[in-house]
Amino acid sequence: MVARPAQRPAQNEQRRQQILAAAARVIAARGLCDARIADIAAAAETSTGLTLYYFGSKGHLLAEALTAAEDQFYLHLFRVITAIDDPREQMLRLISGSCPDAKAALDELDADWRLWLELWARALHDPEVARRRAGLDRRWRSTIADVVRTGQRRHVFSSEVEPQDFALELAALIDGLALQVTLHDVEVDSERMRTIALSYAMRRLEFQLDEVTIS
């Protein structure tokens, strides 16, 4: 049990990020169970001693690595969305951005979704991961709900739907579809997932998008 320094210099933080990123890569590649500290240290081009020095234990490291990766993914998508004005296009981007990227190398971009699967399983038994997951999902649904509210205010979305309800439903649908895509189910690929989720949103919120915008 090493006492963490009270103030963390910049380089210090940078090293943390470096290790977290390496951990995320290793977890996506080998799986949570088979991710060894030695692997992570090697991927981060450092030593096992140092990774423990920063994170205290393997458990903490994994918990932070899982959630940090998802946090960054969210932040990226959030920035993309908030840069758009039209709520319909926001919704489109939100859904598109949630689809595992098919064109990426099989271990590249869908790594985020692989991490989600690991995170879910881990959350069942690790209270720390469970708490972080709850926060991530709440924020994600809030973002969806906000897009809906904006659309309703501008009268491009139906006002019949409760934003929070819709957010929950869409988030669940996306999770379920992404799950199948990530597991390489023969019936669903990234493109079909996008179509289904988008159709659902358009039906529920009663809006249209022209072909040009969609593709």
Note the residues at the interface with DNA (CB under 7 A). Answer: 1, 5, 8-9, 11-12, 15, 34-38, 46-50, 52-53, 57-59
Burial class (CB within 10 angstroms; exposed 0-12, middle 13-18, buried 19+) of 116: buried
Residue 118 has φ and ψ, to the nearest 5°, of: -65, -40
188 contact partners, CB below 8 Å, separation of at least 6: 177, 180, 181
Nearer to its own copies, 173 or 202 (CB): 173
Nearer to its own copies, 130 or 156 (CB): 130
Q: What does the alpha-carbon distance between residue 140 and residue 65 come to, in Å, rounded to a whole number?
A: 18
Tell me which residue has tokens 């904006």: 150
Q: Which does 53 bind (CB under 5 to 8 A by kind): DNA, its own copies, none?
A: DNA
Q: Which does 32 bind (CB under 5 to 8 A by kind): DNA, its own copies, none?
A: its own copies
Structural tokens at position 64: 């932070």
202 binds its own copies, rule: CB under 8 A? no
Q: x/- site string to its own copies, residues 24 to 43, per CB under 8 A? A: ------xxxxx---------
Nearer to its own copies, 55 or 166 (CB): 166
